[in-house]
């Protein structure tokens, strides 16, 4: 379906020469001299790369409907991630490249959204934060409450994050999936 640049919204998926691109940010610009235009930041759904692109105002582009489905992560098999559709119970096999950075936050039985274009999966979308258990970190010392001091901690998925000194091994923490940073203890 062709839409005009005046209909742009964040999250829309467009079929452009560069591939399937999702609008992450856009801005209508009307300079004092010359025609209006729309400046966009686009994310390639197949590669994950971002791109800045400018469209003349009123240009028609093709919008694509992407179906987001709920899946449950079952297990890892070598470099592949196995997911199960929560409605049909069909299994979906995704490579590490398709999963991308989301694989660092996935543990067995976690739920995730997988955007699908037809029958082609376009990556994995996680919630804004996940809860993970610390498997290895240096012990915190009593009275170690220095403001802003951090130490590395290895989580159950193998991800290493910087945590405050008072956090100990075996504790469950909340991690931001967008930045990979410690948020709080659970």
pTM score of the predicted model:
0.75
Check which CATH number belongs to the domain holding 181 and give it: 2.40.50.140
Q: Which of 49, 64, 79 is the last residue of a domain?
A: 64
| 104-131 pLDDT, tens digit each | 899 888 899 998 888 888 888 888 899 9
Are 55 and 73 members of one domain? Answer: no
| 22-69 pLDDT, tens digit each | 888 999 988 888 888 999 999 888 777 888 999 988 889 999 888 888
- Both tokens of residue 103? 């694989």
Q: Which of 64, 95, 111 is the last residue of a domain?
A: 64
**Count of domains observed in the chain:** 3
Structural domain harbouring 81: 67-121
């Amino acid at each position: 379906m062709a839409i005009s640049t005046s209909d742009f919204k964040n999250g829309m998926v467009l079929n452009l020469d560069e591939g399937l691109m999702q609008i992450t940010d856009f801005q209508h610009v009307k300079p004092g001299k010359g025609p209006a235009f729309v400046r966009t930041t686009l994310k390639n759904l197949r590669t994950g790369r971002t791109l800045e692109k400018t469209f003349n105002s009123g240009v028609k582009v093709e919008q694509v409907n992407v179906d987001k489905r709920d899946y449950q992560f079952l297990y890892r098999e070598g470099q592949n991630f196995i997911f199960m559709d929560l409605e049909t119970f069909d299994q979906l096999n995704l490579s590490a490249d398709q999963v991308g950075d989301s694989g660092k936050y996935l543990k067995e039985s976690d739920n995730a959204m997988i955007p699908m274009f037809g029958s082609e999966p376009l990556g994995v979308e996680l919630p804004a934060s996940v809860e993970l258990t610390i498997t290895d970190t240096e012990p915190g010392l009593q009275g170690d409450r220095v403001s802003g001091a951090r130490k590395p901690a290895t989580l159950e998925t193998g991800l290493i994050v910087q945590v405050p000194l008072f956090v100990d091994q075996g504790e469950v923490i909340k991690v931001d999936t967008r930045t990979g940073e410690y948020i709080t203890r659970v």
